[in-house]
Amino acid sequence: MSCVFVARATPVEPRARLASSRRGTRSLSRPSAAPKVRASYAMAPTVLAAAPPVPIMVNDLTGKMGRAVAESVVGRDKSQCFLVPVAFSGSAKPAVDVGGVVVEIKSIREDAGAALEDLKKRYPGMIVVDYTLPAAVNHNAELYVKHNTPFVMGTTGGDRTKLLTDVTAAKLAAVIAPQMGKQVVAFQAAMKLMAENFPGAFKGYTLEVTESHQTSKVDTSGTAKAIVQSFNDLGCGFDIKDVTLVRDVPTQLEKMNVPEEFLLGHAYHTYKLKSPDNTVFFEFQHNVCGRSIYAEGTVDAALFLSAKVTGGGETVYDMIDVLKEGGMVTN
Ligand code: NAD
């Protein structure tokens, strides 16, 4: 079995978004360190609503992920969402043009609270997306919490326990997820479900794991770690230290077949399983080039969050929650 996920930007069909009064869901991937958020919720019927387009503010769209998200926002049908023409960065910068939208770049260190209040008045229902730096995660979240602005946190790192505690205590709605690639998250969740339902199904099998990322990434991929955990629960007994990390360009080009234009931004993962008597082989693969899979997932998360806020949602969600309402999103 081999499955390859290749990121691509696809135009989307105009559609009404789904609004739901469901207040949240239990997540498969909620970190165990997270404070207890509502574990179960009364399910109310999902209804179709002709919602106005969602204003999305992207901080910081001069960074790589922020730019990709901003491009995905302007690439969506105008009935779904639009890009707020103001963004926060670490410092004030010249305005940038994203698909014809000229975005003013303000310093988050100078009167950001007042600017946020003003934007909320000008763009009712605004959702903030954050792709900044690990060191900025908690400070930025405190700003969004203080000004009661629902947000999607794609930035990794920072103090995650504090992040979840702050948002939960404020009863603010937010999507927080270190992996916004919906299809990758779905694969990860499916492997986890398999391990939970069929523990030991691959007992005795040997596992080989190879992952390739841009040379600047030093650590083992978090996704690989999560998938390996599921394979171990299935009986493999694999040491995460044995993952083959490919970070050299010649191997990426010649052996992994990474396209040259994606050497600086790719995430390739291959998991090979072999039976004890060498007669049965399985192979799972997910190869992502570029950032559009994360950017599109982020916009879907923002639309999801907007529907939750409209329905009174006030809790922390992740990409499993977004996936569970797949009917409202695209790609
Ligand atoms: P980047 O360095 O290209 O961009 C970061 C930007 O943030 C820079 O433009 C910087 O000026 C700006 N910045 C710094 N401090 C800021 C602050 N206090 N407020 C606002 N802006 C500030 O980095 P990137 O490649 O875009 O990655 C950003 C983050 O997204 C990283 O944490 C990365 O791990 C994460 N990421 C997450 C996913 C996901 O699926 N959730 C996918 C890819 C990357």
Does ligand 1 lie within 6 Å of residue 109's CB atom? no
Q: What atom in ligand 1 is closest to the CA of residue 62?
A: 9
CA 42 to chain centre: 26
- The percentage of the chain sitting over the pLDDT mark of 90, rounded to a whole number, equals 78
Q: Does 140 contact ligand 1 (Cβ within 6 A)?
A: yes
Residue closest by Cα to atom 27 of ligand 1: 65
Please state the atom number of ligand 1 nearest to the C-alpha of residue 139: 18
At 213, is the pLDDT very low, low, confident or very high (cuts 50, 70, 90)? very high
Per the model's pLDDT, the better-predicted residue between 311 and 288 turns out to be 288
Question: Which ligand 1 atom sits closest to the C-alpha of 180?
Answer: 40
131 lines ligand 1 (CB under 6 A): yes
How many A from CA of 69 to the centre of ligand 1? 11
Instruction: Determine the pLDDT at residue 313.
Output: 72
Q: What does the pLDDT read at residue 330?
A: 53
Give the pLDDT confidence of 79-121 residue by residue, as tens digits.
999 999 999 999 999 999 999 999 999 999 999 999 999 999 9
Write out the two tokens for 296: 């599109």
Mean pLDDT (whole number) for 284-303: 97
Q: How far is the CA of 205 from the centre of ligand 1 (A)?
A: 39
Rounded to the nearest 10 degrees, the angle between the axes of helix 137-146 and helix 112-122 is 50
pTM value is 0.83
Between 170 and 6, where is the model more confident?
170
Cα distances from 53 to residues 95, 104, 127, in angstroms, run 23, 21, 11
3-state helix, strand, coil split of the chain in percent (to 5) is 35, 20, 45
Rounded to whole angstroms, how far apart are CA atoms 135 and 191?
A: 32
Confidence at residue 314, expressed as pLDDT on a 0 to 100 scale: 76
Distance from C-alpha of 193 to C-alpha of 168, rounded to nearest angstrom: 27
The response to whether residue 262 sits with its C-beta less than 6 Å from ligand 1 reads no
Active site residues: 213, 217
Task: Tell me how far apart the 2 most distant CA atoms of the chain are, in Å.
Answer: 67
Check if 155 has its Cβ closer than 6 Å to any atom of ligand 1: yes
Question: What pLDDT, in 10s, does the model give residues 45-67?
Answer: 344 457 899 999 999 999 999 99
- Residue 194 tokens read as 């398999």
Ligand 1 pocket, residue 128 CB under 6 Å = no
